[in-house]
Amino acid sequence: MRPTNRFWGAMGTGGLLCVLAGIFADPLLLGAAALIAGTVLVSQYRFTNELLTVSNAMSVEQHLSRTHVLTDEPVLLTLRADLPVETLLDVTISPSLPLIATSVSPDERTVSVADGQVTRQSYQLTVPTAGVARFSPPEVTVTGPAGCFEETFSVAVEETLTVEPRAPRRIHVGQGGNRVSTSFGEHESGQRGSGLEPAEIRRYVYGDDISRIDWKATARLNHPHIRDYEMPTARQTALIVDHRASTADGTPGETKLDFLREIALAFVNSADSLDDPIGLYTVGDEGTTNTEPPRASERQYRSIRSTLRNLEPTTGESGAADANPGQAAISRRTATTLSEDNTAFGETLRPYFGATNRYADRFADRPLFSTTQSRLGRLQGAVWSVVLTDDTNRSELYESIKAVRRTEGRVLVFITPSALFDSTLGNIEAAYAEYREFESFRKRLNKLDGVTAFEVAHETRLESIRQSGPSSQRRSEGWG
């Protein structure tokens, strides 16, 4: 129970009357002060009893229309209050929204609860940042009939809203219009021995461990047989993600960068499930923006996911904020830490550390080529290099892929063809001709030793462009 300003005003008035009664020796003033004090005491007593009744009888429910939404996607928060008893108190309810949620003003969110009635109110809100938004129990504020006392308490239960980043749908990954049916990042070791995944059954030879004898196969084949297992090995992967200005091509939510981001996240998820080391190097218009050498740890996987989700196309313009690469590293680490902080403090600061596109290295031109040369050349051992980019600068891309090839490991190239990301597709015949040129370039990349090149685009858009070409030409090129 808290005294309000009206309480302190009444106490001040009573005190003043007592002083005046002593100065003027007027008992009426003293009686007035006593009357005020008595009224306040009675109000306090009645407020305490009524408050106990209301808190025991009142029920409040809080419900979200959905528990999973995309960023900036509207969701309804509904409050339902039931006060089955009559009361002299003024009862209001206010929902406790996360600081990052956008909705109506706090004054418009307050709802008055009438005694003996069921009150229901809904609010539409959006959350602009991906993550988990926690809705604390709504607050009930009870004010006494004289306005001298009030109390606030929480009811109902906490609600949780999972906010996912917007991602393109119907992603096509393939070659020459044909989709590939594989999970990116999965791999086998190619070695046999003890492990978890069965590989083959072979005949027992002298020196084999007898504990690995497969007795069922031995009984069936009348000779001792050994069951070999796939030996788990770690694959070191380096992601090179291009987020230069040209990757902004496309419609909102389905830009080149949006498609490339989804492929990169698939590799991170695979590395996480297999406990493989993975690194990330991102390339802007003026050089390298993020550098995370391959490591295998939960912190590494979280950090790379956070960086990829916050990645935006660069503009090619220099900025004062990019002058300190050390500060960029601090910002990235802070963003990773805040991604797991669900307190009000963390939710307030998280959006300010979301943009981590600051340059760690600057190059006058050919930033993709320079990044692959300077960063991947330092890695030791077999490395699977995964380059995710578009075909805006094909000569630089070709030279970059030639430079990134290693004696050990392979190179996977995922390219978003510019012909498939024209927001209008006004001249579909011209787009078909441009796509054919891209396909010739992709095949040229694919012929390099140790290189496999894929196209990445919207499935429906690709099919529309493919069908626009002459049927005889499509058959000769194997497009159906």
- The structural domains of the chain, with segments of one domain joined by +, span 2-56, 58-164, 237-315+330-473
pLDDT above 90 covers what percent of the chain? 22
Q: Is the pLDDT of residue 333 over 50?
A: yes
Identify the weakest region by mean pLDDT among 142-151, 156-165, 465-474. 465-474
Q: How confident is the model at residue 208 (pLDDT cuts 50, 70, 90)?
A: confident
pLDDT in tens, 141-159: 888 877 888 888 887 678 8
3-state secondary structure of 37: helix
Helix ranges (DSSP H) in 185-246: 215-221
Q: How confident is the model at residue 240 (pLDDT cuts 50, 70, 90)?
A: very high
Q: Mean pLDDT across the chain, nearest whole number?
A: 80
Q: Is the pLDDT of residue 466 over 80?
A: no
Q: Is the pLDDT of residue 322 over 60?
A: no
Asked if residues 142 and 91 have their Cβ atoms less than 8 Å apart, the reply is yes
For 58-164, CATH number? 2.60.40.10
Return the closest-CA partner of residue 262 out of 238, 287, 239, 292: 239
CA dist 168 and 252 (Å) reads: 9
3-state secondary structure of 432: helix
Q: Is the pLDDT of residue 330 over 60?
A: no
Q: How confident is the model at residue 376 (pLDDT cuts 50, 70, 90)?
A: confident
pLDDT of residue 403: 85
Q: Is the pLDDT of residue 294 over 90?
A: yes
Architecture of domain 237-315+330-473: 3-Layer(aba) Sandwich (3.40)
pLDDT of residue 437: 93
366 phi-psi bin (left φ>0, alpha ψ -120 to 50, beta other):
left
Q: How confident is the model at residue 230 (pLDDT cuts 50, 70, 90)?
A: low
Mean pLDDT, residues 222-231? 74
pLDDT of residue 373: 85
CA dist 362 and 392 (Å) reads: 20
- Which one is predicted more confidently, 220 or 400? 400
Q: Is the pLDDT of residue 372 over 80?
A: yes
- Which one is predicted more confidently, 280 or 177? 280
Identify the weakest region by mean pLDDT among 126-135, 187-196, 282-291. 187-196
Distances (CA, A) of 365 to 78, 287, 348: 54, 8, 38
CA dist 163 and 126 (Å) reads: 10
Q: How confident is the model at residue 318 (pLDDT cuts 50, 70, 90)?
A: very low
Q: Is the pLDDT of residue 332 over 70?
A: no
Q: What is the pTM of this model?
A: 0.58
Q: How confident is the model at residue 439 (pLDDT cuts 50, 70, 90)?
A: very high
Asked if residues 415 and 391 have their Cβ atoms less than 8 Å apart, the reply is yes
Return the closest-CA partner of residue 209 out of 189, 223, 228: 228
pLDDT of residue 446: 93
pLDDT of residue 101: 82
